[in-house]
Amino acid sequence: MTNWILPSAIFSVIVPLTAGYLIGSVPIGLVVVRLSTGKNVLNEHSGRTGGTNVMRTAGFWAGLVTAIGDVLKGGAAVLLAQALAPGAPWVQAGAGILAVLGHNHSVFLMDRSQGRLRFRGGAGGATAVGCGIALSPALAWVILVVPILLFGIGYASVATLSVGALMTLTLAVQANAGQVPWASVGFGVGAEILMLLALRPNLERLRRGEERLVGIRARPSRGAKRAKSARLPGREA
């Protein structure tokens, strides 16, 4: 009996969890920027591999392709777990959490800085959305909310955390109605914590008033900067 249980546990628990982390670790943004510009996105702006930093580095379409890819890899991680462990919602949720962890701290982006080993990546927003939709397809509407929040709020960090919170709250409502298992809510909470940890530097810059704007709110500030730089000393009206 024991000889049968161990391989079954490996296949239905360890494999989907490990696969979830490895799938999440695929640095799509790094590949997109390298192919489109030849640059290393890890050396640009925030140094993250997510869609926002890719957009700043290589343009809107590169950022969009990266965001879509990150959503798809999150969904793939959970769908694989559902196929390998169909009766284990906590394994499926765990695979989703590990996919977000892999995106934020990729084993493929491991390096050493100041004598410390670090795993680089993104903030996990798009990957978390993909996982959430795989756990509950009714969450697909979140994809429409993301650009509204991102370009409306103007701060990618706040938009990312807002989407995560909104997704978790929706999953909690669905779980209370018996539509999804509570494990899915556990995924939402775990993913939100990982995103919050990844975005701590952004939140600190936001507190100091130094966080960079994106979207609609960024345009006036860019225009103001150009006008200011073009103004010569002694020429003010």
Summarize the confidence of residues 12-35 as an average pLDDT. Answer: 96
Place of tokens 């959490």: 97
pLDDT of residue 196: 96
User: Is 232 a residue whose pLDDT tops 60?
Assistant: no
Contact (CB, 8 A) for 96 and 187: yes
Structure token digits, residue 53? 């930093």
163 touches 145 (CB < 8 A):
yes
Helix (H) or strand (E) run with residue 117 in it? strand 116-119
Residues ≥6 apart with Cβ < 8 Å to 25? 102, 103, 106, 107, 108, 109, 121
123: three-class secondary structure by DSSP: coil
Percent residues over pLDDT 90 in the chain: 64
C-beta of residue 128 within 8 angstroms of C-beta of residue 74: yes
Q: What is the mean pLDDT of residues 163-188?
A: 96
What is the chain's mean pLDDT, rounded? 86
Residue 7's pLDDT band (cuts 50, 70, 90): low
Cα distance between residue 229 and residue 84, in whole Å = 58
> Is pLDDT above 60 for 5?
no
Structure confidence at residue 121 (pLDDT): 96
Distances from the Cα of 135 to the Cα of 38, 75, 91, 186, angstroms: 36, 8, 11, 11
**What's the pLDDT score for residue 217?**
56
Q: What is the pLDDT of residue 215?
A: 60
The answer to whether the CB of 163 falls within 8 A of the CB of 181 is no
pLDDT tens digits, one per residue of 49-93:
999 899 999 999 999 999 999 999 999 999 999 999 998 999 999
Locate tokens 């890819």: which residue? 69
Length of the chain in terms of residues written: 237
pLDDT band, very low/low/confident/very high, at 112 (cuts 50, 70, 90): confident
pLDDT at 218: 60
pLDDT tens across 198-215, in order? 999 988 888 888 777 766
**Tokens found for residue 132:** 């959430």
Residues forming beta bridges with residue 112, ordered by sequence position: 117
How close are the terminal C-alpha atoms of the chain, in Å?
A: 88
Query: Tokens 């990150």 correspond to what residue?
Result: 70
